[in-house]
Amino acid sequence: MSQSIDIPKIDTLARELAAIQQTSSKRVALLGSRHVPITHQNLIEMMSYALVLGGNQIITSGATGTNSAAIRGAMRADPNLLTVILPQSLERQPLESRKQLEQVVHLVENPDNNNLSLGEASALCNREIVSRCQQLICFAFHDSATLLQTCQEAEAEVKVVTLFYFD
């Protein structure tokens, strides 16, 4: 009796093994929900800090919660290894985020998306972030439709995806 081999699963495992063995720096996208308990934000900040200290470049967006924590950690370690891509212009960001974002060295605004809903602009922004990264680390809830779609798109682009669920 012959066993069938699941080629997509082998491809995924091979990508993950290559990522683990890679000793050079990577471009790591950190994305996640805006609604994150402070203890989780602290863990995300420490992860971002450690990734940057390891020489990795962090790419994220400018929202509160997960992304803000990723920005804090990266800024503490090395601001030059952080790129923040906004779904819309800086002026469209919440006031609480703007002060932090104004300190970011590599800030990419998307004013052409100002006429879109935040959800639509965020989906486009996430695609741009995924196109620039080698690995995606995502923090989401099971009903975080935009984030889960981003993870599926990243996997389709053969990126290494690590998905953490809050619930």
> Is 20 inside any structural domain?
no
Q: What Å distances lie between residue 77 and 5, 13, 165, CA to CA? A: 43, 31, 26
> Is 31 inside any structural domain?
yes
Question: Contact, 119 vs 146, CB < 8 A?
Answer: yes
pLDDT at residue 95 in the model: 87
Question: Contact, 152 vs 126, CB < 8 A?
Answer: no
**pTM score of the predicted model:** 0.86
- Residue-wise pLDDT for 98-144, tens only, equals 999 999 999 999 999 999 999 999 999 999 999 999 999 999 999 99
pLDDT at residue 24 in the model: 73
Q: What is the largest CA-CA distance in the chain?
A: 64
pLDDT over 90 (residue 5): no
**Which tokens go with 66?**
């997960």
Residue 152 belongs to a domain with what CATH number?
3.40.50.450
Q: How confident is the model at residue 61 (pLDDT cuts 50, 70, 90)?
A: very high
> Is 116 inside any structural domain?
yes
> Is 124 inside any structural domain?
yes
Question: Contact, 158 vs 135, CB < 8 A?
Answer: no
What would the DSSP string read from start to end of 33-52?
-S---HHHHHHHHHHHHHHH
> Is 140 inside any structural domain?
yes
Question: Contact, 31 vs 66, CB < 8 A?
Answer: yes
DSSP 3-state assignment of 150?
helix
What average pLDDT does the structure give for the chain? 90
> Is 80 inside any structural domain?
yes
DSSP 3-state assignment of 138?
strand
Looking at the DSSP bridge assignments, the partners of residue 60 are 84
Spell out where the chain has E strands: 27-32, 57-60, 82-85, 106-108, 135-140, 160-165
> Is 83 inside any structural domain?
yes
> Is 13 inside any structural domain?
no
21 against 94, higher pLDDT: 94
Range of the domain at 114: 25-165
pLDDT at residue 55 in the model: 96
What integer is the mean pLDDT of 75-104? 95
Per the structure, the count of domains in the chain is 1
